[in-house]
Each structure stands twice: as C-alpha cells, then as structure tokens.
Amino acid sequence: MESLPEQERCISCGRSATPLRWYGDNPFCGECDERVRSGETLQTPFLPDPPGPLPQPAPEKRFEELFKAARVLLGMEAVDEHQIYPTLAFASEIGQNTQLVAAKEGLVRASNSSEAWEEEADAFTSRYASLRPVKYVDEILLLERVPASVQTLNYPGTKTPQEVTITAYQHRKPASPEYVAGLYERELSAAGIPCEQSTQGNMGFEFKHDRLRISIRQRRLLYTAPKRITLPPTPFPHPSLIGEFYRALIGTHSGGGFGGRLAVRKRGGGPRAINLIPALVVVCLKTYGAVGKPKDVHRLLNTYVLCASEKAALPEEGITTSEVAQLTRDVNKWKDRLQPDISTLRSPEP
C-alpha cells in the first residue's frame, strides 16, 4: 500500500480526507476535528517529527573564506599578528553570520573611496569595538586589533551625551596616555561635546575580562515632574586630564597598575606568520568546525593553505614528523588567542 504524505493524512487516525480540516497548524479529518473541538483530547501518532538540525556544510565550503584569508596573509611580505588574529577570526565566522556578510559587503562597496571607507570602518568599529578594518585586498577583509576604543552614550530619547566610555584592550603595544587622550578628544569633537579644564568631574574605572574600561559622565542632569528638563550640556573633563587619569591607572613598568595586564607580551618578538597562520586555521577547524581527525585536518591544510607557503606538506597517513610536532606545539601555544576576537564578532555592541 502506498504511504500518504504526512500533510495529506489526519494526524490522529491517519486516514485521508478531502479536504482535511486544520486545527491550528495540525490537519484532522472531519470526525477527529469534531472530537477535538468538543474538548476531547486525542492522541496524535501521525504528527510529523519536528525537523532536525540543518546539515552542516562540508569544511571545504564552511571555511572557504578562512582558507582564502590564510593564503592571502601568507603571501603578504609583512603582516602583524594583531592583524592576523582578527582577520582569520572574521573569515572563520562570516560563513555562519549574515551580519558579518552585510558588514563586508558595505566595506567592499566603499573600498574605492577613502571617505566612504572611513565612514564604513567607523560604523564597523562602533559595533565590534576592539576591531577595525584596514583594507580590502584580494577578496578578503583585513582587520586589526586596536589598543583602545571610545563610545558615547546619550540619555534615553535625547541627543544629550550622558557618558563617554574608553576601553583599553590587551595588545602587544597597549594604548599610551597620549593615544587615549587623542581618541577621547576626537570623539568629543565629532559628537559636538564641549570640554574644558574644570574643578569637577565624574570618572570611574573597571578592569574586567582583560580590558580596562573608563567611564566619564556628565556632571548633572535635572529632572522635574511631570516632564523632564535638561540643563545645557555640562562640559566633560579636558582630554589632558583623561590622559593623566589613564596614565595613573596603567602605572609604570616597574610599579603597579593595569599596564602589565594589558600587555600581551613584555619582551621578545611576535610569532612568525608562517607558523602562526596554519596553527590558527587548525584551531578554527577543530574548535568551530568539529574537524577532529588529524588526517582530515592535514588534508585541508595541504590542499587549501600550505599550497601558498614554503612549508612542507603534512602527512595524511597518521605519521608523526617534525612538521607535525611543530604544528601541534604551535596550536597549543596560540589556541586561546582567537577567542577574544571570535567573542567580539559574535556579540557586537547594540
């Protein structure tokens, strides 16, 4: 007997009826429909199973942008590690994130105009605060980690600035007081916020999740019932004062402060790109793509990444060579370095 499609049978008795009657999203024959509407509870053995999770694309497709970005980075003469991490993180995530696809498309459209690029880059950094687009090259978006960012928060429903927040991030070259003061001054100027040397200020700070956040608030806001009245904007503290406040917070190289916790590396050079890039690709494959078997990882690296470098191909038969041992050490050394950028891209600012 030929089976009926699920949508052509009553979900209670399994019989076909023309037409079926729908109770909510569920089809019943006329008899069962009457019983349901009279208040009777019926079993629904023919209710279709809920759809399962969508099948995941093959790693070759899922990480197509990642492989392309890795090849481009390996072909660049000089690239900083603080460009490698966010560029690969973005390339790894874009295949699963429509917001990142839209952000890239906007930057690609703006790539032929420096003014339009800066506008799109500012919009990107306002959402992904620790990251900034550098350029569009060979079909990939090159990003960099910035040492600090600044944002302005207005009072709800108004254009009156309530708070300016400066966030300093972990970086190989942490933000200097001069950098922070300049960043703050440009933000005030762009937002039309007055600032001056004053005898009052409202500043606070918090070190959390490997970042130092400084909040600078307006001194006063007047509320009266039944409606709210706002005083003219109170000047915010002068940039030079904010720079000195930040200097006190980070301390000195020999003394206390948060500067040591913001520095990713206190001495020595950064990792070689030819070692760092393949290792980070492996981290993405294993952590975000569930590609666990070494032979599969090696095959993908050989085919889509190492072909663009001078590194020897990896064995795909489970043999341990010096190249495999080096890659394993590099993965273990740098496996946690991508997570801050992945988290930023997955949880943008509202």
pLDDT at residue 327, as a whole number: 94
pLDDT at residue 93, as a whole number: 94
Does 289 map to a domain?
Answer: no
pLDDT at residue 10, as a whole number: 83
Does 332 map to a domain?
Answer: no
Q: Are 73 and 79 in contact (CB under 8 A)?
A: yes
Instruction: Give the helix/strand (H/E) hosting 140.
Output: strand 140-145
Residue with tokens 């799109």: 120
Q: Whole domain around residue 14: which residue ranges?
A: 1-52
Q: Residue 85 is encoded by which pair of tokens?
A: 């991490």
pLDDT at residue 309, as a whole number: 85
Q: What single string gives the DSSP state of each residue in 192-244?
A: T--EE--S--EEEEEEETTEEEEEEE-S---B-SSSB--PSPPPEEPHHHHHH
Calpha distance 235→219 (Å, rounded): 8
Calpha distance 120→228 (Å, rounded): 35
Q: Are strands 195-196 and 236-237 parallel, antiparallel or unpaired?
A: parallel
Q: Residue 310 is encoded by which pair of tokens?
A: 């001078």
Calpha distance 291→64 (Å, rounded): 14
User: pLDDT by residue for the chain (350 residues), tens digit each?
Assistant: 344 444 567 888 887 766 677 656 678 888 887 887 777 777 877 777 666 565 778 899 999 999 999 999 999 977 889 999 999 999 999 988 889 999 999 999 999 999 999 999 989 998 998 999 999 999 999 999 999 999 888 888 877 788 899 999 988 889 999 999 999 999 888 888 888 776 677 899 999 888 999 999 876 554 444 455 555 556 788 999 999 999 999 987 666 789 888 887 656 667 899 999 999 999 999 998 888 889 999 999 999 999 888 888 899 887 888 999 999 999 999 988 898 899 999 988 76
Does 231 map to a domain?
Answer: yes
Strand partners, 27: 22
pLDDT at residue 222, as a whole number: 45
By C-alpha distance, which of 82, 249, 277, 252 is closest to 171? 82
Does 180 map to a domain?
Answer: yes
Is the pTM higher than 0.85? The answer reads no
The region that residue 154 occupies, defined by phi over 0 for left and psi between -120 and 50 for alpha, beta otherwise, is: beta
Calpha distance 246→231 (Å, rounded): 29
- Residue 21: how many CA atoms within 13 Å on its side-chain side? 12
- Residue 311: how many CA atoms within 13 Å on its side-chain side? 29
Q: Are 63 and 289 in contact (CB under 8 A)?
A: yes
Does 83 map to a domain?
Answer: no
Q: Are 208 and 193 in contact (CB under 8 A)?
A: no
Does 21 map to a domain?
Answer: yes
Q: Are 334 and 271 in contact (CB under 8 A)?
A: yes
Q: Which 3 state secondary structure label does DSSP give 162?
A: strand
Q: Residue 330 is encoded by which pair of tokens?
A: 């590099």
Does 176 map to a domain?
Answer: yes
Q: Which 3 state secondary structure label does DSSP give 260?
A: helix
Contacts of 96 (CB under 8 A, 6+ apart): 62
By C-alpha distance, which of 268, 145, 124, 287 is closest to 211? 145
What residue type is 80 in one-letter code? D
pLDDT at residue 36, as a whole number: 76
Does 121 map to a domain?
Answer: no
pLDDT at residue 153, as a whole number: 86
For the chain, how many structural domains are there in total? 2
Calpha distance 311→239 (Å, rounded): 49
The widest CA-to-CA distance across the chain, in whole angstroms, is 90
By C-alpha distance, which of 169, 171, 245, 164 is closest to 208? 169
Which DSSP state fits 39?
Answer: T
CB neighbours of residue 176 within 10 Å:
17
